[in-house]
Chain A
Amino acid sequence: MKKMLNGLLLFMVFAIVLAGCGSVGDNSKPEATSGSEQTTKAAGPVTVKDDHGEVKLDKPAERVVVLEWAYTEDLIALGVQPVGNADNANYRLWITPEAKLADSVTDIGTRSEPNLEAIAALKPDLIISNTDNNAAIYAQLKGIAPTIEYDFFKGKGYDYDRMVEIFKQIAVATGKTEQADKVLNDLDQHYIEAKATLEKADKADFHYALTQAYTAQNAASLRMFKDNSLVVETLAKIGMVNDWKSDKTEKYGFSTVGIEALPAVQDSHFIYITQKTDDVFGAAMENNSVWKELNFVKEKRTYPLDGTTWTFGGPISSKVLVDQVVGVLTK
């Protein structure tokens, strides 16, 4: 330990020498990426509720660092670009272009191990973190800036109410409550229109099963969404009925199953999200007699959605999901 102290002393000497050269390494951009486009009217103190209780901010946050994509999307829906976001490349791969992340947003590392130094360098005035990945570093994040943390899957899971609850709190934190109300009202209006479109197309009370699927090893691995998931509750708003049931409690709101589990919903309509590079239900199923004999396959009731239709997002993802589904059903 003594060596460490010595090292520290030596470092201080070094640092004093270097300090003379000015702050060469300074490339933090205090103003450049400040994301809020409209200046906030109410600049007074705000109180945000999170899973740890309440966090008081002197004024609504402007420089926000986000460690989970759903919250990034919430921010973008409010018209705020974060100053820092986790794993930009994969965000752009998985999440709808309608929630576009600006090029100026700094990448602060992976969602599970965000770079604390990079976060500190951005001098945020708010950090939004996610319990699943970031619980262990909560104390350190709080040391950098006021931090609000949400457990995605608290209570009944990440359902519609939870999504709205978190979205509204993020709006409070950024002083965008009016914007939030507008987004949610617009969304409700959007649902009413989409529902009408479906009814007009004779697709009222449409029965379906929704999956996000990928190939694990050589076999299909399917995430079948249950009633307590955000996507199923979103589609319920436009009158759609989920046919996938499971007795097991599923923390994430979906069951992971193989092809064998599909006959249970074969009389329903099968809606799926796959990536372009992973053709789960295409060529891979050509020789699969079980898949080919499923009623929804024989009777051509399968509907692919775009790969960027994100199932754990915010209001924009819900809107895009509805657009996508209405699009494929009324084509």
Chain B
Amino acid sequence: MTRTGTTDLSKAWRAGGIFGGGLAVLIVLFFVSLCYGEAPIPLHTVIEALTQRQNTLEHNMVWDLRMPRTVIGILAGGALAIAGALLQAITKNPLAASDTLGINAGAYFVVVLGAVMFPALLHQAPFLFAAIGGLLAAVLAYFMGGGRAGSPIRLALAGLIVSMVLGSFTGALHIFYSFETQGLFLWGSGSLVQNDWSGTTYAWPWVVGLSVIAVLLSRQFDVLDLDESTSTSLGQKVGLTRVAGIVLAVLLSTITVSVIGPIGFVGLVAPHLVRLSGLKMHRWVLPGSFLWGALLLTGADVLAKMVHQSSMDLPTGAVMALIGAPWLIWLILWRMKLPSGIGGQSSMNIGVRSRKLPYGRLVTLFACGAVLLTVFSLMFGGMRIPVSDMLSGLFGGESTNSALLQFRIPRTLVAAGAGIALAVSGVLIQLAVRNPLADASIIGVSSGAGFGALAVIIVWPGLPVYVLPVAAIAGAAVSAAVIFFLSWNKHLNPSVVILLGIAVSAIGSAGIQVLIIQGSLWGSTGYIWLTGSTYARTWGQVTTILAFLLVLLPIAWWLARRFDLLVFDDSSAMGLGLPVRRTRLLAMAVGVLLAGGAVACVGTIGFIGLIAPHIVRTLIGHHVRRSLVLSSILGAVMLVLADTIGRTILAPMEIPSGLLIALIGAPYFLYLMYRSNRSKSV
């Protein structure tokens, strides 16, 4: 990593290592991969099968089950890596890859949609569906990220948000059409299992052809590494090269998705490994990336096969995320040029409207809205409970039997309480990382909490219920601590914190996926709980969330004055005598605890902490105490509304509240990003 002393000789050695060493490792992995499987086949039989194939079962297994799986791993890993290298060159963004730009998620969403809407057509042309989805997602992420003017971090953030949005749509399809899509669930995590050679024969001409084209065009991509004016002066084909590169990258990654599902991190990690060796020219970088992408994915698959459980395979994609996410952390901390200045460029004034509404009137308005909504929710939420019964339930003797008391009131209260906790947590976390686009789910705290709670459910199913919030808090605290510990030396730079959060979130989600599959919980309670559910909440959960709120809200209120100063940039705040890092840490701690409490009660519900504070900010500007009050009401309103709709419109089926929030919140968030781009460019 030292910049000095990089002689030509050591460079040659490294290049040799990249190609020679890489190839050697890949060959070893190739054999290891052929040796691992459900049926025990000794090594000498594998070698025998390779050298002199006979029509025996073991030889057929090696050739027609294990070999296609290994070969598709090599092809897919290579394709994703080349796509990543191309995207990184085009966007000049070290964080670009088909997964960080939302291409994989887009392709997968359209494939799942196809499985529901046009199963026959999907069967004929899965690639078409995947390519359309991938292209749409890429375009969306590109424009949301500010187009050509967007900074690397913004683009990566936009891509990740697009992935989240599409992921929540896909989640909705999985829940509503669980029968039609059940075969796709494992695929959704990325799996290399093959029945025969058909997937490989379908993919290889594309992968090889497109990769060769990419290598042939490598000189064009070299030009993109120069700065804008120089490259333009070399000819007007830069735009054309960009388009060609994007098309190649999208096709390469979507052909992969259509065969093995969305797999992340290969495209991010492999090109960097190659570039680290000092190779810069694309005619070396592209083949090198292919080699190392193939190696990484095959390696991840071998690991997945090694830990094979009888219940189901571990998804290769989850293993890849567990390998790749720490890499992303390393990349952010040591290889990224940070945006200028300690505090970064992001400020809290994105999207603030100049016209402010009077605070008192707003509080009244919001409170009235909340009351009306609560009444609405209690009256019309459920079904088939005659009004007279409710009354007798409230006033009469048989109150324990009243459906209203038993079901609607506690779940409405839990929804309101969790909404408050999430919104306040959003206010505090946004202050802590000084970025209006942050909340507990984006900086990885929610998935940490979810992982903690789910681990307890699955590993120790016998434990008492009160352990769940403790586990969720522990999970949230660990992920927050990791993020803060790692970004401490970067002065808690907002962008660094968010990107680290995304990486930690990926690790948490991979862990959650592993737990779901190990506990065969897909499509069932565990999976629904993870998408966030206010289903069947009891007075027990009311007590839990109330305890969190009663302890933490006063602390937040008390600290609010100090937090107000966090809005200024760090040097001004320090000038005002504020221990900036400690204050941020404090805001973060309270925010994380609140989010953990919410996750313990309603699962991982995202976006409330993002949207509620933002809406309030557009209405009143910056004032932490006022924002706390208004955001709480708004957060409560949002979750109560989602709960009401979720239990009403498809009754007797329930729509998880978290899904509803995501379906509404995610597009709003995209709109926010889009607007913040415009306001910035002005």
Contacts and interface: CB of A to CB of B under 8 A. Distances in A.
Interface of A: 1, 3-4, 6-8, 10-12, 14-16, 18-19, 21-28, 90, 93, 107-110, 112-118, 120-121, 133, 136-137, 139-140, 143-144, 214-221, 246, 248, 250, 252, 255-261, 263-264, 266, 278, 284-285, 287-290, 293-294
Interface residues of B, number: 78
B195 interface: yes
B261 interface: yes
A137 B536 contact: yes
Closest 6 interchain pairs by CB?
A7-B374, A23-B386, A109-B652, A121-B384, A117-B382, A115-B652
A1 B546 contact: yes
Contacts of B651: 109, 115, 117-118
Contacts of A115: 382-383, 647, 651-654
23 contacts: A3-B370, A4-B374, A10-B375, A15-B391, A110-B654, A112-B528, A113-B653, A117-B383, A117-B384, A117-B408, A118-B382, A121-B384, A136-B536, A137-B536, A144-B401, A144-B406, A216-B187, A218-B194, A218-B259, A221-B312, A256-B312, A264-B39, A293-B60
Interface string B516-559: 00001000110010000101101000000010000000000000
B39 A263 contact: yes
B234 interface: no
B193 A258 contact: yes
Given A7-B371, A19-B387, A113-B536, A217 B37 contact: no
Contacts of B194: 218-219
A103 B502 CA distance: 50
B55 interface: yes
Given A219-B195, A220-B195, 12 more contacts: A7-B370, A14-B375, A15-B390, A19-B387, A110-B653, A117-B382, A133-B524, A133-B525, A216-B186, A284-B195, A285-B195, A288-B195
A107 B249 CA distance: 48
B391 to A, nearest CB: 5
B64 interface: yes
| Most chain B CB atoms below 10 A, which of A23, A117, A220 | A117
A171 to B, nearest CB: 27
Interface stretch (B196-204, B207-215, B591-599, B674-682): B196-204
A260 B375 contact: no
Nearest to A259: B65
Contact of B64 (A28, A110, A221, A289): A289
B652 A215 contact: no
B411 to A, nearest CB: 9
A118 B196 contact: no
A105 B370 CA distance: 38
Contacts of A221: 312
Contacts of B229: none
Given A143-B400, A260-B38, A113 B535 contact: yes
B384 A28 contact: yes
Contacts of A143: 400-401, 406
Contacts of A137: 536
B256 interface: no
A289 B391 contact: no
Contacts of B385: 25, 117, 120-121
A288 B196 contact: yes
Given A19-B388, A115-B652, A217-B193, A290 B406 contact: no
B407 interface: yes
B378 interface: yes
Contacts of B391: 12, 15-16, 19
Contacts of B647: 115, 117
Contact of A260 (B37, B199, B400): B37
B179 interface: yes
Interface in B388-409: 388-391, 394, 400-401, 403, 406-409
B9 interface: no
Contacts of B520: 252
Contacts of B384: 25-28, 117-118, 121
A264 B55 CA distance: 17
B7 interface: no
B57 interface: yes
A25 B183 contact: no
Given A113-B536, A259-B195, A261-B38, A90 B400 contact: no
A139 B537 CA distance: 11
B183 A214 contact: yes
A287 B198 contact: yes
B654 A109 contact: yes
B568 interface: no
Contacts of B185: 216
B198 A113 contact: no
A114 B652 contact: yes
Contacts of A110: 653-654
B401 A219 contact: no
A137 B529 CA distance: 13
Nearest to A6: B371
B179 to A, nearest CB: 7
A266 B647 CA distance: 50
Given A3-B367, A23-B388, A266-B57, A116 B407 contact: yes
Nearest to B63: A289
B164 interface: no
A287 B187 contact: no
A176 B375 CA distance: 45
Interface in B42-63: 55-58, 60-61, 63
Interface string B250-280: 0000000001110000000000000000000
A1 B553 CA distance: 13
A284 B194 CA distance: 11
A294 B386 contact: no
Contacts of B352: none
B362 to A, nearest CB: 15
B481 interface: no
B61 A217 contact: no
B566 to A, nearest CB: 29
B383 A255 contact: no
Nearest to A287: B196
Contacts of B412: 4
Contacts of B409: 8
Contacts of A293: 55-57, 60
B312 A120 contact: no
| Most chain A CB atoms below 10 A, which of B56, B394, B651, B653 | B653
Contacts of B124: none
A250 B407 contact: no
A118 B546 contact: no
A61 B199 CA distance: 55
Nearest to A108: B652
Interface in B147-191: 179, 182-187, 191
B275 to A, nearest CB: 33
B529 to A, nearest CB: 9
Contacts of A264: 39
B413 A4 contact: yes
A11 B653 CA distance: 25
Contact of B61 (A108, A215, A260): A260
B60 A290 contact: yes
Contacts of B186: 216-217
B60 A25 contact: no
B379 interface: yes
Contacts of B528: 112-113
| Most chain B CB atoms below 10 A, which of A90, A110, A140 | A110
Nearest to A90: B179
A219 B194 CA distance: 5
B416 interface: yes
A93 B412 CA distance: 35
A136 B525 contact: yes
Contacts of B401: 120, 143-144
Nearest to A264: B39
B2 interface: no
B236 interface: no
